Chain A
Amino acid sequence: MAITDITPPSQFTEARKRFVRHGFGSPQASFISVLVFAVLAYIAWKFLGWAVFRAVWSKENADLCDGHGACWSVIDARHRLILFGTYPYDEHWRSTLAAIAIVVTVLLSCLPAMWNATRLAVLWIVGFAAYYLLMEGSLLGLQQVTTDGWGGLSLTLFLFAAVVLLGMPMGLGLALMRRSQMPVVRWFAVIIIDTIRSLPLVTTLFTAAVVVPLFLPTWLEGDKIWRVIFGFALFFAAYQAEVFRGGFQAIPKGQFEAGKALGISYWCILGRIVLPQVFRHVLPSTINMVVVTFKETAIVTIIGFFDILASGKTAFGTAEWAPYYIEVFLFVAAIYWIFIFSLGQYGEYLKGRMAISEH
């Protein structure tokens, strides 16, 4: 009977069989497998014991924290500080909505259906305007909160989204300029890219935040946050331009020449023939850049912004909660993980989608 059963074995059974075959194929393999799993189980048990079984959860019970288990009370008491920085307590709903607006904007821009210039432009303008109006408040007749008061997760998300969305077109522009036939344009791009890449990010941001206002007239200064976003975006663009250049180099020159021979305009060749292939080539490195940028936003603490890491540090920066910094760092790490893991998964999805369109 078993021979006539032609339904494919379930994935799970298959995986289990493979696992048994590879993990317990010989006595040595069995021994090592058992050892590794024992160690992993021991670590997991220890961690769970600390993080779950012996943990204290609510801020009312904070005096039960004795160092034997995690003291999640610090998160209970201080999560609003971690998430919103020094944003006024009663206005946190605005910060929440603003963060949601940014997440929705980014999510929508990830959908292939949105990929045309007009739709993206409208989406970004609406998304960022919504963020700004909610956070700043005075134009909506709400209590004004200047950018010094912005902080926590909503600030991190905003910085990240603004830097990537501004930096991506800038990077593409620089890459195109670098490939230009005109020496002046080409050299301009080379100088910009190489200068910015030879400066540390901290220096760039510090200059944008602190040094620029010393010599710019007041009316041109703008708010610190915009200067910093611009500086950061320029930094991102310089690196992304090189990523794009790699993509361009992978396209045979003949495609351009063939396009020209057929009388197709430069922009049409670029937009319809070359760029779609370039995007496919640069996808993995671009996702890499984006992920790195998300983590690098933490550096803005050096110029006095309360990003989520800085507000996390502030959360345990008081006598009551000072011993529980591990809990806070784990909480912040989990938030980073959620966002960065989603970015990575989105990259995988795009790769799969592009692989289909290649056939």
Chain B
Amino acid sequence: MKNVIAAGAIAATGVLAPHVAFAQSATVQQIMDRGTMLCSGHNGSYFGFVEVNDQNEWKGLDIDLCRALTTAILGDPDANQIVPLSWAQRFPALQSGDVDVIIKATGWTMGRDTELGLQFSLPYFFGGTQFMAHGDLGITDATGLEGGTVCVEAGTTIERLAANYMTTIGIEHSMVSYESQAELRSAYLANRCDAFAGWGPNLAVLRATELDNPDAHIILSDQLSSEPISAAMRQGDEGFVDTVNWTIAALLIAEEEGITSANVEEMAANPPNPRVARLLGVEPGMGERLGMRDTWAKEMIAAVGNFGEIYDRNLGADSPYGLERGLNSLWSEGGVLYAPILD
């Protein structure tokens, strides 16, 4: 009986509105009904990704992506609610519906993707293991560490990666393990290590905030590994995954096309090519296929800027951390970020 009604309903919608065949996702519908997007925050501060400013407002790369997504769905960057979550709590909180999406420096792993029943978006950030070395060594990559001492945190994947990498490039060195991050840091500062290995963004933040003289330290150019950081969603709502993926894609395409929060109106009034016209909703296509407004990408870019602007504001050149784009540049600039094809 239920099936008959459902079939009838589908037929009826089909007849009445043939263009809404790309049905909206349940999650997006829920967000629209609620009028608020529920995003993950942090139970404290995770430098560059999730912080709180002097006006008690959330900020950071992950927060800006949440604002972008909120603008895309609801048209208002402030219509979100950031739910503070600890690391351990984030996946159960997503499953129980406390948040709609996790955008919280979360790596895409097979275990999470399969066993935990999560669905990951396009990676929006790549963070890899890197070395930080004393600037007075005058080196720029790990080949300069010949005969030196490299320190690592004991028992981490970073330890294995560093040993593996140094063997691969054939550099003689001695490796010293420390039990904790704090010990490692003080050993490095006391010059007991020439370099130490860590997660790239963390190294950059440490360099910018905790070391007395940032310029006396250099992050070497070697990338020992690269972890894709993605937004995580509940499995089983492909429509919502599409929405999140195309939000990230639109931010990347905007950067590729040079559309910024400052010139987006101008670009929309006078699109230089059909791709921009489509992206900004001058030509239809962006909205209908996701069950949203045609101009969602335009509104989003006006509110938070393109991906480059978001990065620079929170982690990059315009932030106190000054983290190089590196791998996180667009493919056209030598990075690995790229958007699917906007047809």
Chain A residues in contact with chain B, CB under 8 A? 67, 77-78, 80-81, 84-89, 146, 148-149, 206, 209-211, 213-214, 224, 301-306, 310, 313-320, 322-323
Task: With A313-B44, A317-B44, A319-B209 as known contacts, state yes or no: A304 contacts B52, CB within 8 Å.
Answer: no
Instruction: Flag if A89 contacts B55 (CB, 8 Å).
Output: yes
Contact of A304 among B53, B86, B210, B321 (CB under 8 A): B86
Closest 9 pairs between A and B when the two form their complex, measured CB to CB: A317-B45, A319-B320, A322-B209, A213-B96, A210-B92, A304-B84, A313-B44, A304-B85, A314-B45
**Residue in chain A with minimal CB distance to B50:** A317
**Residue in chain B with minimal CB distance to A306:** B84
Instruction: Flag if A67 contacts B209 (CB, 8 Å).
Output: no
Question: Is B166 positioned at the interface, with any CB of A under 8 Å from its CB?
Answer: no
Contacts of B210 in A (CB 8 A): 322-323
**Residue in chain A with minimal CB distance to B58:** A86
Question: Is B97 positioned at the interface, with any CB of A under 8 Å from its CB?
Answer: yes
A-B contact pairs, 29 of them (CB 8 A): A67-B212, A78-B54, A80-B54, A81-B52, A81-B54, A85-B56, A86-B52, A86-B57, A86-B82, A89-B57, A146-B81, A148-B81, A210-B89, A210-B96, A301-B86, A302-B43, A303-B43, A304-B43, A304-B83, A304-B84, A304-B93, A306-B84, A314-B45, A317-B46, A317-B47, A318-B47, A318-B53, A320-B320, A322-B47
Instruction: Flag if B51 contacts A211 (CB, 8 Å).
Output: no
Contacts of A209 in B (CB 8 A): 89
Contacts of B202 in A (CB 8 A): none
Contacts of A213 in B (CB 8 A): 96-98
Contacts of A305 in B (CB 8 A): 43, 84
Chain B residues in contact with chain A, CB under 8 A? 41, 43-47, 51-58, 81-86, 88-89, 92-93, 95-98, 205, 208-210, 212, 319-321
Contacts of A148 in B (CB 8 A): 81-84
**Residue in chain A with minimal CB distance to B91:** A210
A259 vs B54: C-alpha distance when bound (angstroms):
64
A318 vs B93: C-alpha distance when bound (angstroms):
25
Contact of B89 among A67, A302, A316, A317 (CB under 8 A): A302
A149 vs B80: C-alpha distance when bound (angstroms):
12
Task: With A148-B82, A301-B44 as known contacts, state yes or no: A214 contacts B92, CB within 8 Å.
Answer: yes
How far apart are A80's CB and chain B's nearest CB, in angstroms?
6
A303 vs B85: C-alpha distance when bound (angstroms):
6
**Residue in chain B with minimal CB distance to A210:** B92
A149 vs B81: C-alpha distance when bound (angstroms):
8
Most chain B CB within a 10 A radius of its CB, from A149, A315, A322: A322
A304 vs B43: C-alpha distance when bound (angstroms):
5
How far apart are A306's CB and chain B's nearest CB, in angstroms?
6
Instruction: Flag if B88 contacts A302 (CB, 8 Å).
Output: yes
**Residue in chain B with minimal CB distance to A221:** B96
How far apart are A279's CB and chain B's nearest CB, in angstroms?
38
A315 vs B41: C-alpha distance when bound (angstroms):
15
**Residue in chain A with minimal CB distance to B51:** A318
How far apart are B312's CB and chain A's nearest CB, in angstroms?
14
Contacts of B205 in A (CB 8 A): 319
A348 vs B89: C-alpha distance when bound (angstroms):
41
Instruction: Flag if A314 contacts B51 (CB, 8 Å).
Output: yes
Contacts of B53 in A (CB 8 A): 318
How far apart are A159's CB and chain B's nearest CB, in angstroms?
14
Contact of A319 among B44, B58, B88, B321 (CB under 8 A): B321
A303 vs B41: C-alpha distance when bound (angstroms):
12
How far apart are A218's CB and chain B's nearest CB, in angstroms?
8
Instruction: Flag if A88 contacts B56 (CB, 8 Å).
Output: yes
Contacts of B41 in A (CB 8 A): 86, 304
Contacts of A317 in B (CB 8 A): 44-47, 51-52
**Residue in chain A with minimal CB distance to B88:** A302
Contacts A206-B89, A301-B44 aside, 9 further interface pairs with beta carbons under 8 A come to A81-B54, A81-B56, A86-B57, A146-B81, A305-B43, A314-B44, A316-B45, A317-B46, A319-B47
Task: With A148-B81, A306-B84 as known contacts, state yes or no: A87 contacts B45, CB within 8 Å.
Answer: no
Instruction: Flag if A318 contacts B52 (CB, 8 Å).
Output: yes
A210 vs B96: C-alpha distance when bound (angstroms):
8
Contacts of A313 in B (CB 8 A): 44-45
How far apart are A61's CB and chain B's nearest CB, in angstroms?
16
A149 vs B44: C-alpha distance when bound (angstroms):
13
How far apart are A318's CB and chain B's nearest CB, in angstroms?
5
**Residue in chain B with minimal CB distance to A215:** B96
Instruction: Flag if A310 contacts B93 (CB, 8 Å).
Output: no
Task: With A86-B82, A304-B84, A310-B43 as known contacts, state yes or no: A224 contacts B98, CB within 8 Å.
Answer: yes
**Residue in chain B with minimal CB distance to A152:** B56
A214 vs B89: C-alpha distance when bound (angstroms):
13
How far apart are B66's CB and chain A's nearest CB, in angstroms?
13
**Residue in chain B with minimal CB distance to A321:** B209
Instruction: Flag if B43 contacts A306 (CB, 8 Å).
Output: yes
How far apart are A165's CB and chain B's nearest CB, in angstroms?
25
Contacts of B320 in A (CB 8 A): 319-320
Contacts of A224 in B (CB 8 A): 98
Most chain B CB within a 10 A radius of its CB, from A86, A211, A214, A315: A86
How far apart are B39's CB and chain A's nearest CB, in angstroms?
10
Contacts of B51 in A (CB 8 A): 314, 317-318
Contacts of B83 in A (CB 8 A): 148, 304
How far apart are A178's CB and chain B's nearest CB, in angstroms?
34
Contacts of B93 in A (CB 8 A): 210, 304
A144 vs B212: C-alpha distance when bound (angstroms):
43
How far apart are B51's CB and chain A's nearest CB, in angstroms?
5
How far apart are A90's CB and chain B's nearest CB, in angstroms?
9
Contacts of A323 in B (CB 8 A): 209-210
Contacts of B82 in A (CB 8 A): 86, 148
**Residue in chain A with minimal CB distance to B83:** A148
**Residue in chain A with minimal CB distance to B52:** A314
Contacts of B88 in A (CB 8 A): 206, 302
A276 vs B96: C-alpha distance when bound (angstroms):
46
Instruction: Flag if B86 contacts A87 (CB, 8 Å).
Output: no
Most chain B CB within a 10 A radius of its CB, from A206, A304, A316, A319: A304
A214 vs B234: C-alpha distance when bound (angstroms):
13
A77 vs B53: C-alpha distance when bound (angstroms):
10
**Residue in chain B with minimal CB distance to A224:** B98
